[in-house]
Structure 1
Amino acid sequence: MNMELQVAIAEAFAQAQHELRARRSAAALVWLERAHILTQRRPWLHARSHWLMLQAGWQLGDLREVLGQIPRILAALLFSRIWVPIGNTGRARISAFQPMPMSEELRRLLE
């Protein structure tokens, strides 16, 4: 993994955790969507993004988000190296199988 990608992933997780500690779950989810896209091919980091989304959903009282993240955590651990829907933000309101458009910045980081 290149250094620029490592820094971007670390920043996304750090900002998300900062927002979660401050109980700003909606802001945390924005950072976690970014982390999810950047870590989709790395099982542990991918699962971590879903775990933190579950925590954000819990803080928001969003049962759909909480329940939707549980199978995604398992799938991240089992299937990340086989297939992922590129650009998918990882939220429970989005199909886990739906590829999504990515910003040029994220595309560049993943090259």
Structure 2
Amino acid sequence: MSPKVKIHFESELAQALDFIRSKDLESAWTALAQAHILGQFDAIPHLRVHWHMFRLGLLSLNVQEIAGQIPRMILAIPGSITGKAPKGNTGLSNVGIFQPMDVPEDLQMILQQGSKG
């Protein structure tokens, strides 16, 4: 992960954790989805996001997310290393685990800036 992308990734993750602390769970899910898109091609950040999604699923008693995050945590590292993680996927259990998705424009710009070094 480039330093530019990492800054945005860490910011989204920190925001998600702040939202969790303030009990704004909907905003936490959104921030985690954003972090997932930014970090999904780097193994450890990818796994970190799924871990936090799993924890948020437990906190919110969301059985679908709890169950959906377990295979995602197992596949996060291999998916990142092999490049098989589906581009743009939010990482949430309401979308297919291998379903590519459109990357939002703001995140496209961050990822493109990061690839330029």
TM, length-normalised to structure 1: 0.93
Q: CA RMSD in A?
A: 1.2
Identical amino acids, percent of aligned pairs: 34
Report the residue type matching 2:77 in the other structure: L
Once residues 92 and 103 of structure 1 are traced to their aligned partners in structure 2, the CA distance between those partners, rounded to angstroms, is: 19
Once residues 103 and 64 of structure 1 are traced to their aligned partners in structure 2, the CA distance between those partners, rounded to angstroms, is: 24
Partner SS, residue 80 of structure 1: helix
* Equivalent residue runs for 1:15-26 within 5 Å: 15-26=15-26
Gaps of 5+ in 2: 113-117
- Judge conservation of contact 1:50–1:73 (CA < 8 Å) in 2: yes
Structure with more contact order per residue of length (Cα contacts < 8 Å, sep ≥ 6): 2
Aligned-residue offset at 1:106: 1.0
Q: Which residue of the partner structure matches residue 108 of structure 1?
A: 109
TM, length-normalised to structure 2: 0.88
Q: Which residue of the partner structure matches residue 64 of structure 2?
A: 64
Once residues 71 and 80 of structure 1 are traced to their aligned partners in structure 2, the CA distance between those partners, rounded to angstroms, is: 14
Once residues 76 and 90 of structure 1 are traced to their aligned partners in structure 2, the CA distance between those partners, rounded to angstroms, is: 10
Gaps of 5+ in 1: none
**Equivalent residue pairs, number:** 111
Q: Which residue of the partner structure matches residue 91 of structure 2?
A: 90
Aligned-residue offset at 1:2: 3.3
Q: Which residue of the partner structure matches residue 35 of structure 2?
A: 35
